[in-house]
Amino acid sequence: MSWISSSVMGRKGVAHGKPGKTHQLTEEAQGQYYYVYGPYEKPVLRIEPGDIVAAETRDAFGGAIKTTADLPSKVLNFPYVNPQNGPIYVEGAEKGDVLAVHIHSVLPRGPQPAGTTALIPEFGGLVGTAQTAMLNKPLPELVKKMNVTTEGVVFSDRITLPYEPFIGTLGVSPEIEAVLSLQPDYWGGNMDLPDVAPGAVVYFPVQTKGAYLFLGDCHGRQGDGELCGVAVEIPAVATVQVDLIKQWSIPGVRLETESMIMSVGSARPMEDAARMAYRDLIRWMEADYNFTESEAYFLATQAGRLRVGNMVDPKYTVGASMLKTYIA
Q: Which of residues 127-156 bind a second copy (CB under 8 A)?
A: 127-128, 130-139, 142, 144, 153, 155-156
Q: What's the start-to-end Cα distance of the chain, in Å?
A: 18
Pick from 98, 114, 240, 308: which binds a second copy (CB under 8 A)? 308
Which of 48, 177 has the CB closer to a second copy?
177
Regarding 59 and contact with a second copy (CB under 8 A), the answer is no
* Other CB atoms within 10 Å distance of the CB of residue 8: 21
Pick from 8, 10, 15, 35: which binds a second copy (CB under 8 A)? 35
Amino acid (one-letter) located at 2: S
Size of the site for a second copy (CB under 8 A): 80
Question: Rounded to whole angstroms, what are the CA distances from 315 to 166, 182, 307, 312?
Answer: 19, 9, 15, 8
Pick from 100, 101, 119, 211: which binds a second copy (CB under 8 A)? 119
Per-residue contact string for residues 167-206; x = within reach of a second copy by CB under 8 A: --------xxxxxx--------------------------
Q: Which stretch binds a second copy (CB under 8 A): 13-21, 68-76, 197-205, 290-298?
A: 290-298
What's the DSSP call for residue 271?
A: H
Q: How far apart are CA 277 and CA 254, in angstroms?
A: 9
Residue among 304, 206, 197 nearest 253 (CA): 206
Under 8 Å between Cβ of 228 and 125? yes
Q: Which stretch binds a second copy (CB under 8 A): 21-29, 33-41, 49-57, 91-99?
A: 33-41
Q: Order the strands of the 152-154 sheet from edge to edge.
A: 148-149, 152-154, 160-161
Which of 91, 175 has the CB closer to a second copy?
175
What's the DSSP call for residue 49?
A: T
Write down the least CB distance from residue 186 to a second copy, Å: 8
